[in-house]
Amino acid sequence: MTERICVARIGAAHGVRGEVKLWSFTENPAAVATYGPLETEDGKRRFEIEAMRPAKDHFVARIAGVSDRDAAERLRNLDLYIPRARLPKIDEQDTYYHADLIGLDVITPEGVQIGTVHALHNFGAGDIIEIMPVGSGEPLMLPFNDATVPSVDLKAKQIVLVQPVEVELRDE
C-alpha cells in the first residue's frame, strides 16, 4: 500500500496577499487542515495551513511563509501529501483510500484482465475510474460506482469491472 497519500492540490493564487486556492481530496474536505504539515510527494518541502475558508468548489488557504501573489503562484498545481499513518484507520470492509486502488488489476466478471487502475478522478459529478488497457490504447474513464465496479479485492490486488452497455443513437 502507498505510504504517502495525496490529500490536496494547490491551485492558482487568490488575491495579492499570498492566499491560494486549495482542493481537498479527503472525505471530509475541511479535515485536510487537521492532518498536520502537508508535504510534497518526495517529502522535501512542508507546508502548514494557517487559515482556510470555503469558496465555491474549493477552499481559499493561507500557507505559512507564503505572503505575496508571486510566492503563491509558484505553488500552483502542487500536490500535497501526508504519511498514511496520519490518516484515520479504516475498519469497514468495503472502504479504502483511492490511493490503494492505483495499480490494481482490472478484470471482467469472467476473470479476463483488461487493464490496471491508473487514477481516480472527481470532476464534480461523482468518482471516475481511469483504466489503462492491457497492451496499448486510450485510457478508459468510467463511473466508479457499484454497478461498474461491483467488487474490489485489495488482498488479490484486483477489481472487477462491468463495462456499461453501449447504446447506439440513431438520427431520424
pLDDT tens per residue across span 54-77: 998 899 999 999 999 999 999 999
C-alpha cell at 108: 471482467
| pLDDT classification of 168: cutoffs 50, 70, 90 | low
CATH code: domain 4-86 is 2.40.30.60
Higher pLDDT, 89 or 54: 54
| pLDDT at 166 (0 to 100) | 65
Q: Which amino acid is at 140?
A: L
Beta-carbon count within 10 A of 32 CB: 21
Q: Are the C-beta atoms of residues 71 and 79 closer than 8 Å to each other?
A: no
For the chain, the helix, strand and coil percentages under 3-state DSSP, each to the nearest 5: 10, 40, 50
Average pLDDT, integer, range 13-24: 94
- Secondary structure element (H or E) that encloses residue 93, with its range: none
C-alpha cell at 102: 492505483
Ranges of CATH 2.30.30.240 domains, the chain: 98-160
What is the residue-wise DSSP string for 50-62?
EEEEE-SSSEEEE
pTM beyond 0.85: the answer is no
107-133 residues labelled b (16+ CB within 10 A) or e (exposed): beeeeeeebbbbebeeeeeeebbbbbe
CATH code: domain 98-160 is 2.30.30.240
Half-sphere exposure of residue 67: CA atoms within 13 angstroms, side-chain side: 1
Ranges of CATH 2.40.30.60 domains, the chain: 4-86
